[in-house]
Structure 1
Amino acid sequence: MPRFDTTDLTTHTLVGSTYGYSGTRIDRLGATEMTLVAIAADTSGSVHPFKREIEACIQEAVRACRQAPRADNLMLRLVQFADTV
């Protein structure tokens, strides 16, 4: 699974929101077929006691994606959310 250099990322923000995201340009993908992997991680105070387990779970998911036969055709996005909107 290639890492995209941060200088090639396009950043977007939503008007009236603190939410934003970044992504690579389509012409930089290097493949015509991509599988999107999305991980949503709760980082609110209520799960703080499970912080290490959540981090380990994310690391294991990323490791599995890197070892997948079509790893070069995967795009992974990690979204974190907490107790504020």
Structure 2
Amino acid sequence: MALRLPFHLYYGPSAVVLVGLWMAGWWWLYRRIGSVWPFVVAHSAYNLMLATAPLPDGIRALAVLVAVGLLAYGLVSLLRWRTTLRDQAS
């Protein structure tokens, strides 16, 4: 929370609540699949694509590919976790 909060202070006082909720979600996700880095890097690549000065097309395309690829990896991890739970319940 200490790392995420300074980057979101532009939300004002509600940043504390927002970041707290996100950290609870990340904690839950980490406890389930053991990693949140795919989502963190995908979010960072997406922000790089939107928040910077106009990027050359090649770098913008790379940022999109990285974001989509890591998001897909994270979603596959969630599906594998869910499948593991279902198999353990059987």
Structure number with bigger Rg: 2
The two structures have a TM-score, normalised by structure 2, of: 0.35
Larger strand proportion of the pair: 1
Larger helix proportion of the pair: 2
The two structures have a TM-score, normalised by structure 1, of: 0.36
Structure with more relative contact order (C-alpha pairs < 8 Å, separation 6 or more): 1
